[in-house]
Amino acid sequence: MEEVLKGKVALITGGASGIGKAIALAFARAGAAVAVMDLDTEAGAAAVREIGETGRPALFLAGDVSRSKDCRGAVERTVAELGGLDILVNNAGVICRASVPETSEQDWDRVMAVNVRSVFLLSKTAIPVMAAAGGGAIINIASGWGLVGGRRAAAYCASKGAVVQLTRAMALDHGPENIRVNCLCPGDTDTPMLRSEAEQLGVPVERLLADAAQRPLGRIAQPEDIAQAALYLASDAAAAVTGISLVVDGGGLAGS
């Protein structure tokens, strides 16, 4: 693979599994040093060991993305131990499959804290670092349900819509500092989070996966599919791209 991120340093939240881990591995294979932030210390350590097998520097950062102290510490350690911060991927996320009446205040607050507050907190600390270094790239992971609605996912849809709009606002504010801010909107992707939705909805996993494959390309996305789109947005191939919401969903929203 061409090392399109050679010499870059990336910080990826929720990087211990699923889409985050796939992005971390893709970035490392493209030449980047990678820091992974996650609450799951065991899975995070394992992910960093796997990233290290690419020959690139890798760092695990245990922390809660909804806490400002942890977010500041993650950015500071990344800069101190890996030498800078060129790319931030705000990937950490949770889902609550419930309508508004079914959603507790605690679940609403948790979804908003992990899915939206984290983007604000990490970006707030990372942007001055990137600006001082001459620029950078921020990739926020939203969802197709940030662009259209979905049933029994009220808090999740609201949070991902907020991420889409926050991306646009940040792109406007920080373009003059040579900081590109873009958003990825995956469709259903075969990850632990998607499988957890089956449990929340009380349906068999196999049924949920089969339903998720009902789209023009006829298959469910894999984490690596999303990682390749993130690699594009992080690289110089997207040097003139900012403020967009790139949908990666096998055509699921094409008729919406």
Which range among 97-101, 156-160, 208-212 shows the weakest confidence by mean pLDDT?
208-212
| Nearest of 97, 88, 24, 79 to residue 56 by alpha carbon | 24
pLDDT value, residue 194: 86
The reply to whether 156 belongs to the active site is yes
Q: Kindly tell me if the per-residue pLDDT of 53 is higher than 70.
A: yes
Domain of 52, CATH number, reads: 3.40.50.720
Q: Is residue 88 part of a domain?
A: yes
Tokens of 103: 């959603």
| Cα 158 to Cα 21: distance, rounded to the nearest angstrom | 25
Q: Is residue 218 part of a domain?
A: no
Q: Is residue 18 part of a domain?
A: yes
Question: Percentage of the chain surpassing pLDDT 70?
Answer: 100
Q: Is residue 81 part of a domain?
A: yes
| Cα 147 to Cα 161: distance, rounded to the nearest angstrom | 6
Residue range 82-104: average pLDDT?
98
Domain range for residue 100? Answer: 9-186+227-247
Tokens of 214: 């009902």
Q: Is residue 211 part of a domain?
A: no
In the chain, which residue ranges form alpha helices assigned H by DSSP?
18-29, 41-52, 68-82, 105-112, 118-133, 154-174, 192-201, 205-212, 223-234
- Per the model's pLDDT, the better-predicted residue between 194 and 131 turns out to be 131
pLDDT value, residue 198: 84
pLDDT tens figures, 178-232:
999 999 999 999 998 888 898 899 999 899 889 889 999 999 999 999 999 999 9
Residue range 60-82: average pLDDT?
98
In which band, very low, low, confident or very high, does the pLDDT at 1 lie, cut at 50, 70 and 90?
low
When the pLDDT of each residue in the chain is averaged and rounded to a whole number, the result is 96
Q: Is residue 236 part of a domain?
A: yes
- Give the C-alpha distances (Å, rounded to integers) separating 8 from 82, 84, 86, 100, 234: 9, 8, 6, 42, 10
Q: Is residue 222 part of a domain?
A: no
Task: Quote the number of domains for the chain.
Answer: 1
Q: Is residue 235 part of a domain?
A: yes
Of 36, 156, 157, 182, the active-site residue reads: 156
pLDDT tens figures, 3-25:
999 999 999 999 999 999 999 99
Residue range 102-106: average pLDDT?
98
